[in-house]
A and B are shown apart, each in its own frame.
Chain A
Amino acid sequence: MNCEEVESLLADALGEELSAPQRTALEAHWSECERCREEHASLRGAVEVMRRLTRPKRAQARRVGDRLILESSAGSTIPRSDLARERKWYRGVLRYAAGLGIAFLAGYVVRGSGESAESMAHRPPSVAENLERGEELSKDWEEAKQGSVLGAFLHARSQHMSRSELGQVLIALAGKRG
């Protein structure tokens, strides 16, 4: 087979319509003729590059009145106007959900910071509270040591009370013991 004969079969080779004997003869020629081999390979490459463009998802479009109706291969029907409406609806839902989420987070942060602010604010304890606390402290102290005011003070100190709280507890304790 010479170069001219190979050229006449080039379309069949590129279009994959060669018979087995034709293919054998062509391959034999290509193994010897670099020019013909390269011509085929580069045109084949162009076909491959074109085929890299993806095939679309199958969709049937048909016209009913003034509307274009799309049908996917799965059989569901999506009118074109509905596609736009559907997208709009999803966008609305997403915005609403995002708004709710932000509001929830903002509420959580504000509430959390409110609580911490409240806990940090100094509130002077009432006398009843001091007495109650003093009783508890004295009970612990009675059980632990000999009953000195210093022991009660140290125990109250370990509760991380403020200085004024400690003072009031000790007064209440001393009054009870006195």
Chain B
Amino acid sequence: MKTAEGTVACGFAPFSDDVYGWAYRILGRHQDALDVVQDVFLRWHEQCQRERPANERGWLRRVTMNRAIDVRRGWSVTRRAQQSAARTEWAFEEARGEAEADEDSLRRDVAEALSDLTEMQRSVLVAKVYDEMTFAEIANEWGAAVSTVKTHFVRALQSVRLRLHPRWSQEIIR
């Protein structure tokens, strides 16, 4: 029997931690990650009214990554506008700790690299690198052949490497 909460949430609760984690990896800010969880939940709820996704976790990963990347793009636009209006952002950047700025810069680069990928490539890469799923599990989630998943993984990584290389070459070329 479904609880009132279960009916409202449409079985979202078991995935909420994953959704938060995917969003946080890209955004690095608690409140923004929560906003993404909220948006994804609303889309999940709408989808549930029509038809429950066959591949629930895969659907949520895809929607979450897309939403988080969109939010991140919004920041870039805002930041550029602020920088052209005033140089206060630079002072802000300098005032922050170097490590924090470094991590934020890495988040931005990874988000940009992921945004260049196809949805399938992005999902496979995130599932493998962050969720540490096996190729067989990912293939099962997507209903695809294991060899296809592996091909997507390598192509996605090659694309990410190209994008990350200018800034993170020391780590990538050793």
Listed in ascending order, the chain A residues whose CB lies under 8 Å from chain B are 10-12, 14-15, 17, 38, 41-43, 45-56, 58-65, 68, 70, 80
- With A11-B153, A49-B110 known, 20 other A-B pairs at CB within 8 A are A10-B154, A11-B150, A12-B135, A14-B153, A15-B135, A41-B173, A43-B157, A43-B158, A49-B168, A49-B171, A50-B110, A54-B103, A55-B25, A61-B37, A61-B41, A63-B5, A63-B12, A64-B5, A68-B41, A80-B34
State how many angstroms separate the Cβ of B132 from the closest Cβ of chain A. 9
Interface membership of chain B positions 118-140, coded 1 if the CB is closer than 8 angstroms to chain A and 0 otherwise: 00000001001110001100000
Describe B's contact surface by its main secondary structure: helix
B8-A42 in contact (CB<8A): no
B37–A68 CB distance below 8 A: yes
Q: How far is the CA of A59 from the CA of B24 in the complex (A)?
A: 11
| Contact present for A68 and B8 (CB under 8 Å) | no
A15-B160 in contact (CB<8A): no
Q: Give Cα A134 to B57, complex, Å.
A: 99
A89-B129 Cα distance, complex, nearest whole Å: 40
Contacts of B158 in A (CB 8 A): 43
Q: Mark B29-57, 1 if CB is under 8 A from A, else 0.
A: 01001100110010000000000000000
Residues of A within 8 A of B21 (CB): 55-56, 58
Given A62-B9, A63-B41: A46 in contact with B160 (beta carbons within 8 A): yes
Assess whether B41 is in contact with A56, with CB atoms less than 8 Å apart: no
**B8 and chain A: residue at smallest CB distance:** A63
Q: Is the CB of B107 within 8 A of A53?
A: yes
Task: Judge whether A53 and B106 touch: CB under 8 Å.
Answer: yes
* In the bound complex, CA of A58 to CA of B160 (Å): 27
CB–CB A59/B172 < 8 A: no
Please indicate the chain A residues that have their CB under 8 angstroms from the CB of B154 in the complex: 10-11, 14, 43
- Asked if B89 lies at the interface with its beta carbon under 8 angstroms from chain A, I say no
Q: Looking at the complex, which one of A15, A55, A64 makes contact with B128 (CB distance below 8 Å)?
A: A15
* A118-B87 Cα distance, complex, nearest whole Å: 53
B17 CB–A CB distance under 8 Å: yes
B8: chain A residues within 8 A (beta carbon): 63-65
Chain A residue nearest to B154 (CB atoms) is A11
CB–CB B16/A62 < 8 A: yes
If A47-B129, A51-B129 touch, does A59 touch B17 (CB 8 Å cutoff)? yes
B161 CB–A CB distance under 8 Å: yes
CB closest residue in chain A, given B161: A46
Closest chain A residue, CB of each to CB of B163? A46
How many Å from the CB of A52 to the closest CB on chain B? 6
A60-B172 in contact (CB<8A): no
The docked-state distance in angstroms from the alpha carbon of A20 to that of B33 is: 40
Complex alpha-carbon distance, A80 and B34, angstroms: 9
A-B contacts, 30 of them at CB < 8 A, read: A11-B153, A14-B154, A42-B173, A42-B174, A43-B154, A43-B157, A45-B174, A46-B164, A47-B157, A49-B164, A49-B168, A50-B129, A53-B25, A53-B28, A53-B110, A54-B103, A55-B21, A58-B17, A58-B21, A59-B17, A59-B20, A60-B17, A61-B17, A61-B19, A61-B20, A61-B37, A62-B13, A62-B16, A63-B12, A70-B34
Contact assessment for B103 and A53 in the assembled complex, using a CB-CB cutoff below 8 Å: yes
Contact among B19, B103, B106, B151 with A11 in the assembled complex (CB-CB below 8 Å): B151
| B138: min CB distance to chain A, Å | 10
